[in-house]
């Protein structure tokens, strides 16, 4: 466990990104750059748990589990999630500070803007100011997602917005939309995209790919199965490794933990978990090997001994029924905003059982990811620098002329929907 009184921890606080020092400089919170977490995972051969905080209790539970395991983690939220969750870009830094303080600090984490969706030039222009505001709140890592655009447009949109993100903060980019089994990004697409960014001086930590995963619940009753293709993942990971980029695995909820344990061998260094933690907050029956929500007779199943109280759950179901939602609908995620305050106002014993179960799941993932002890590794990484600036030291390996629109593997629109969360 990181000792907050050690000289190394005090030095780490001096090496936090400037936005963190400007906002939380008087606090002992170990909110670090996503670059430092990424480098620590690379050196440790581990995977960072990245937990989507749709409810504030997820933050508390994940930090609790991370401290027990001396693990560095990401707390994150997608741009789309910020529109339907009570935890958002404004208050997540405050919740993280509050819960870190409750734990006596010493928890090493980054705040990550997950899936910042870009659908065209208008989103790029809006993103310049929006991301600057989010970063000013204390976020230390950003994932730019223009993956549904044609490959050249994805490259240029990602490049243009990345230029407005401080180079010392973490950066994730994406090629290929997360659509489920059989939907696979190619090595050619990944090399064109990452190589093109590199030629323009943009150096990501992670590349998110479409490798067969799915966001949300795998509905076995409808024949939906987990289909992560680790061989394709390894092919892409090996191809982009010379650029200093690793794989971010999206859509882990519903994946057997035995398979998750193998992820490290395939170039994956960040693992996103969202729906599973939502299932815990709601208290849904879950497969204990995968975290996938159980569906019986066309409905999620509430466990009265877990998650929110039965009384609150009944109100939540009534709200969804009033909106015409199926009782196994993925749109149950939209409960997070109208019922956030009600969840946070549940009796302490209800909130405690939610936090404890989230911490239990966080620890299981951290151990499966081989990430125990990585908080200390982050200290090592940060203390090798002279100061706060975590900008990566990388070389430009290609020329921009090799990454024009005529060289793009896919020159037409992919025409997909919004698969960002």
Average pLDDT over residues 253-263: 92
What pLDDT, in 10s, does the model give residues 212-233? 775 666 556 555 555 789 999 9
Residue with tokens 């593997």: 409
| pTM (two decimals) | 0.95
What is the largest distance, in Å, between two alpha-carbon atoms of the chain? Answer: 62
Neighbouring residues of 200: CB distance < 8 A, sequence distance ≥ 6: 159, 400
What pLDDT, in 10s, does the model give residues 54-107? 999 999 999 999 999 999 999 999 999 999 999 999 999 999 999 999 999 999
254 φψ region: left (φ > 0), alpha (ψ -120 to 50), beta (else): left
Average pLDDT over residues 259-285: 96
Picking from 98, 102, 128, 104, the residue whose alpha carbon sits closest to that of residue 116 is 128
Under the banding of pLDDT at 50, 70 and 90, the label for residue 234 is very high
Under the banding of pLDDT at 50, 70 and 90, the label for residue 413 is very low
Domains of the chain, CATH where assigned: 41-374 (3.20.20.70)
Mean pLDDT across the chain, nearest whole number?
93
Distance CA 191, CA 59 (A): 35
**Can you give the pLDDT at residue 37?**
98
């Amino acid at each position: 466990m990181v000792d907050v009184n050690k000289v190394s921890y005090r030095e780490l606080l001096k090496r936090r990104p400037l936005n963190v020092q400007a906002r939380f400089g008087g606090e002992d919170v170990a909110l670090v750059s996503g670059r430092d977490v990424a480098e620590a995972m690379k050196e440790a051969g581990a995977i960072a748990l990245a937990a989507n905080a749709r409810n504030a209790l997820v933050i508390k539970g994940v930090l609790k589990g991370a401290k027990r395991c001396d693990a560095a983690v990401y707390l994150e939220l997608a741009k789309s999630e910020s529109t339907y969750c009570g935890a958002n870009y404004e208050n997540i830094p405050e919740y993280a500070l509050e819960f870190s303080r409750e734990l006596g600090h010493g928890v090493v984490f980054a705040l990550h803007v997950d899936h910042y969706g870009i659908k065209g030039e208008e989103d790029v222009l809006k993103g310049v100011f929006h991301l600057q505001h989010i970063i000013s709140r204390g976020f230390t890592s950003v994932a730019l997602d223009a993956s549904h655009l044609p490959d050249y447009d994805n490259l240029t949109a990602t490049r243009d917005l990345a230029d407005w993100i401080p180079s010392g903060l973490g950066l994730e980019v994406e090629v290929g939309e997360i659509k489920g089994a059989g939907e696979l990004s190619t090595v050619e697409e990944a090399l064109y995209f990452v190589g093109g960014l590199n030629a323009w001086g943009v150096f990501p930590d992670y590349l998110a790919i479409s490798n067969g995963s799915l966001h949300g619940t795998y509905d076995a009753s409808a024949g939906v199965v987990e289909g992560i293709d680790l061989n394709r993942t390894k092919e892409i990971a090996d191809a982009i490794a010379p650029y200093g980029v690793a794989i971010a695995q999206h859509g882990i909820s519903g994946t057997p933990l035995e398979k998750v344990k193998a992820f490290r061998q395939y170039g994956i260094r960040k693992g996103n978990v969202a729906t599973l933690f939502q299932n815990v907050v709601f208290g849904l029956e879950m497969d204990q090997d995968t975290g996938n929500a159980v569906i019986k007779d066309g409905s999620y199943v509430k466990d009265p001994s877990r998650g929110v109280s039965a009384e609150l759950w009944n109100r939540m179901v009534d709200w969804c029924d009033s909106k015409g939602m199926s009782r196994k609908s993925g749109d149950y995620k939209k409960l997070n905003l109208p019922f956030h305050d009600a969840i946070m106002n549940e009796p302490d014993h209800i909130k405690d059982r939610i936090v404890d179960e989230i911490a239990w799941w966080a620890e299981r993932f951290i151990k499966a990811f081989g990430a125990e002890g990585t908080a200390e590794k982050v200290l090592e990484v940060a203390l090798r620098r002279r100061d706060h600036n975590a900008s990566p030291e990388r070389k430009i390996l290609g020329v921009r002329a090799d990454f024009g629109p005529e060289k793009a593997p896919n020159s037409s629109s992919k025409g997909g929907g919004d698969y960002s969360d």
